[in-house]
Structure 1
């Protein structure tokens, strides 16, 4: 068994390609609640705390619309710090007429929506880890039940919505991939993520440090699905943040030993999974 990736590994900056930068900035500020950090050329950075960016938007010229036939982003997931924060957010979204999907996943309560380009977004709050349950193989039990929306809204009470609260992070990312065996070998066998649970032969969930999942991977767009063309809206890349240089060097060493292609760019390691989803590894 390979050594597991550092337990403090997290998802960092997610970079999205959009068709209209100003429209997307308004949406992510006014509807989702991000803070504007800076705009430079055809890109804009957004954060929850007004400082460290969690989302970068990049306008693409003559964009190709997003379709569900391609591999790539299923959704990125914004983790708010507690259940009350989730209730306040859901009330705000409902007041603005935003269509929502939902799911009580036993380890978390989640709501799903799409941005103006169709990029998938999840906003969720975790249940305390001591409430998570595990099967006989030690894998986290996850499912999908209806969320108790009424109790969420009661908890929110009259708390004003002021955007994403302090402590909000990028909790996980969920990707469409072309096939699971090669994908599992890359993320678990090579990078060192731990397999948390599998849903049959169509989805798997992996994490660092015992979290329920930092990355979801599925073939729901079809086995063999290809990435959308470069000019399409959707995911450009996402960041894996490791806590120190030693953890960074460990990942680079594994890739080098396996003769797996990667590049170094401005202190980050750039690599693609077997489907072609682009990853930037950064040490903080």
Structure 2
């Protein structure tokens, strides 16, 4: 699947960095129900439909592929895999517009946080896959520490104020420019995650919480996060599970991709090459596609 660049993307945007998350693929049990929900509640549009799945996106950009397997078992809550897919909207007004839409459709939210670098709202799809909808604050408002990490916190977000400020016009779906800004994973242990995302894939360690690390490219607060809050020491993910099958990281520079692949080869992690895509299974059984 090809990536579709977003026109007029700001130079400090998540997608403008040397590497970014491009696309996620979920295995679901009830494809029609889940797809209809993502279209109605998340405002995604169908882009491609096949025999056992479909790809949804915004403004022609593929963001989420949903497929179904007849024998897929519901993943246990402690299995490695998805903590949430994070949909980055262009600005605070669009975050408020989506919140108003969610409120008018009686969507049950799981939480809302001010992370200093961003404002985020949390929920889950009908099969329990986690979702974050967020907007970034301007980088001029971020605080970087001397070691290069960025100041993040989890403070309450005033949803009433966000709702009150939002336009209440008809909802036409997510605004063009909406992207998967980051993906947050459940893994089995943090040192292994640091070794994989920082040392092998070359992402910067941007922040640590108890039981979680946040990795970003180009000083972005995070493109990938990994936590052990539900999944400490869990065994690898099994093939026939619902939830996150795989996701894609796109590198701007082919040399950076080549360096990551060389490190994977050195660790004897099998990588399949097909055209410009390199596919592998990470240490926790989650599929990963690397493209330039």
TM-score (norm 1): 0.92
Residue 22 of structure 1 deviates from its aligned partner by 1.0
Pairs aligned (count): 276
Q: 2:215 aligns with which of 206, 210, 217?
A: 206
Task: Verify: 1:184 aligned to 2:168, yes or no.
Answer: no
How far apart in 2 are the matches of 1:228 and 1:183?
15
Residue 125 of structure 1 deviates from its aligned partner by 0.5
Task: Verify: 1:197 aligned to 2:204, yes or no.
Answer: no
Task: Verify: 1:9 aligned to 2:52, yes or no.
Answer: no
SS, match of residue 234 in structure 2? coil
1:125-182 deviation line (CA, Å, top 9, x unaligned): 0100110113343311111111122332232132332111011011000011011112
How far apart in 2 are the matches of 1:255 and 1:138?
25
How far apart in 2 are the matches of 1:254 and 1:42?
34
Deviates more, 1:85-94 or 1:65-74: 65-74
Task: Verify: 1:167 aligned to 2:177, yes or no.
Answer: yes
Partner of 1:24: 34
How far apart in 1 are the matches of 2:190 and 2:270?
20
Is this contact kept in 1: 2:236–2:283, CA < 8 A?
no
Partner of 2:49: 39
Matches within 5 A, 1:1-284: 7-49=17-59, 51-100=60-109, 101-200=111-210, 202-283=211-292
Deviates more, 1:115-124 or 1:267-276: 267-276
Residue 276 of structure 1 deviates from its aligned partner by 2.0
Deviates more, 1:76-85 or 1:250-259: 250-259
Residue 7 of structure 1 deviates from its aligned partner by 4.2
Is this contact kept in 1: 2:96–2:163, CA < 8 A?
yes
How far apart in 1 are the matches of 2:264 and 2:229?
28
Is this contact kept in 2: 1:88–1:160, CA < 8 A?
no
**Over 6 Å off, 4+ runs:** none
1:180-239 deviation line (CA, Å, top 9, x unaligned): 112211111111110011113x11001000000001101112321124432221000000
Is this contact kept in 2: 1:66–1:118, CA < 8 A?
no
How far apart in 2 are the matches of 1:148 and 1:107?
15
Tell me, which stretches of 5 or more residues in structure 2 are unaligned? 1-15
